[in-house]
Amino acid sequence: MKAIILAAGVGSRLKDLTRNLPKCLIKINGKSLLENQIELLERGGIKKEEISIVVGKEGSCWTQENIDKIARLVSNTKVDEFNISKGKAYGLLKGIEDLNFDTILIIDGDLFLNRAALEKVIEDEGENVALVKKQENNGTLLMNSDGNIIQFSNKLSGERDYIYSGMMKIGSRLFYDLKEIVEKPGNWNLGFTETINELCKNHEIKPIAGRWININEEKDIELAECISRSNGKGVIWDFDGVIVDNAAQQITAYKEAFKKFGLEISDSDFLKNRGKKNVFQTICIEYNVKLDLKKWLEEKKRIYWNLIEEGIEAAPGVKSLIESLYREGYKQAIASSTSRANILFILKKLKLRDYFEVIISSEDVKNGKPDPEPFNKAKNELGLKSSDCIVIEDSSVGILAAKRAGIKCIAINTSGGALLESENAIEVTNTLENMSPKRIYEIISIINSKS
């Protein structure tokens, strides 16, 4: 996947701030919008050489010095020499003229977003996806009965509850039609809205909601800085049994999958190994059997996902805590021994994907819990120190992994009395229903005062 950043605007609404500075170089807590976008794209798996940026030439902010500054960040820099006198269609042409028909991300240079929003767009299976957010009765998008975008405009009648961010993923078929439109000189004065609305006639564009801000006014900079700065604290969540109450489904899936291959296991065989990366291998060793992991895994997934489709709920108190932590500016991550597909599938069903900046799954680490690698990777990707994080876990192996990572832990006592013996569990509770951001802040403060 390639990314095109359209940053040829002059930011006239920001007045003196952009008189001598392109909007993409405005800094949010010491880092420019462009630097933030590049960093997020790289973390999302798009290499810097796959990123290109379209800059301007017309306007006082587009000095050679500023263009050179951008070129040092992104070597594949293209100049839209008519960034004021022509429309956005010409800028799109400059961005895609050298590309083959591939999936690409198109991003406005004034977009500030978090990692979760970007990854949701990249991860989504839809061929054409637009990042949006809710804005009831004052949106800029019309949807059809299937929930796809059929028109982009700020002059719409009817229900319009979403606004567009300035980031879109487009597949090869839409790319082909887009290129055909913008290559015609007669279309070079078209704006973005007019160009995309032509494509909406023949292509479905799926809206994906996330957290983002377009930097158009000074108050937008202040809001972006508040989100970027957060409170410097983080919560790293285990997944199975902590965020989602799925123990019954997991036990059933493990038992039925093993039974299909001729092995009867008990509930305790799963529970005592819960949280480990290699539960299947451990059980096979204990029973001295050799089974085909790939075939067993396919069967276990089939059973488990069928059970999840029947209904799944967040554990008590979890959803409100995750939402309130997000509002209070906490960074949040998941570090789990389960697969990424499983995590994303359930987060989507629970409508919780937006709240997590980082997801560390079984595929992302070489060594699973009780090795500290999952938690170390999560805290590093959040950009936080161990002393500024707290882990929420429900398994003994997870609590031991947190201890080895130097991160204190809140233990959810769902797996028996063994958790009570963990010296790393700074607090043990049977439920998160009474837990709050304030209490988590107090716990982290206690940790720091003792260190």
**In 158-202, alpha helices (H):** 172-182, 192-200
Residue numbers in the chain where pLDDT is lower than 50: 416-421
Which domains occur in the chain, in start order? 2-227 (3.90.550.10), 234-244+313-450 (3.40.50.1000), 247-310 (1.10.150)
**CA–CA separation, 389 and 218 (whole Å):** 32
pLDDT in tens, 60-74: 999 999 999 999 999
Q: Which long-range contacts (CB under 8 A, 24 or more apart) does 426-429 make?
A: 426/390
**In 311-395, alpha helices (H):** 318-327, 340-350, 373-382
DSSP three-state, residue 415 = coil
Nearest to 341 by CA among 305, 386, 367: 305
Give the chain's count of helices (H) and strands (E).
Answer: 16, 19
CA 353 centroid distance within chain: 7
Nearest to 236 by CA among 367, 72, 381: 381
**CA–CA separation, 286 and 264 (whole Å):** 12
Give me the residues paired with residue 164 across strands: 132
pLDDT, mean over the chain: 87
DSSP three-state, residue 332 = strand
Give the dihedral of Cα atoms 386, 390, 396, 400; nearest 10 deg: 10
The owner of tokens 């590049």 is 38
The model's pTM is 0.67
Q: Which residues contact 367 (CB under 8 A, 6 or more apart)?
A: 277, 373
Give the dihedral of Cα atoms 117, 123, 127, 133; nearest 10 deg: -20
Nearest to 68 by CA among 59, 81, 77, 80: 77
Phi, psi of 149 (to 5 degrees): -75, 130
**CA–CA separation, 355 and 357 (whole Å):** 7
**CA–CA separation, 130 and 153 (whole Å):** 14
**What is the per-residue pLDDT for 278?**
77
**What is the per-residue pLDDT for 417?**
43
Buried residues in 35-65 as b, exposed as e (16+ CB within 10 A): bbbbebbeebebeeebbbbbbbbebebbeee
Q: Which residues contact 265 (CB under 8 A, 6 or more apart)?
A: 254, 255, 258, 283, 287
Continuous segment of H or E residues that includes residue 296: helix 293-310
**In 331-436, alpha helices (H):** 340-350, 373-382, 396-404
**CA–CA separation, 394 and 337 (whole Å):** 13
Pair of tokens at residue 198: 């032509």
DSSP three-state, residue 261 = coil
**CA–CA separation, 4 and 7 (whole Å):** 9
Nearest to 117 by CA among 108, 104, 130, 106: 130
Structural Rg of the chain based on CA atoms = 24
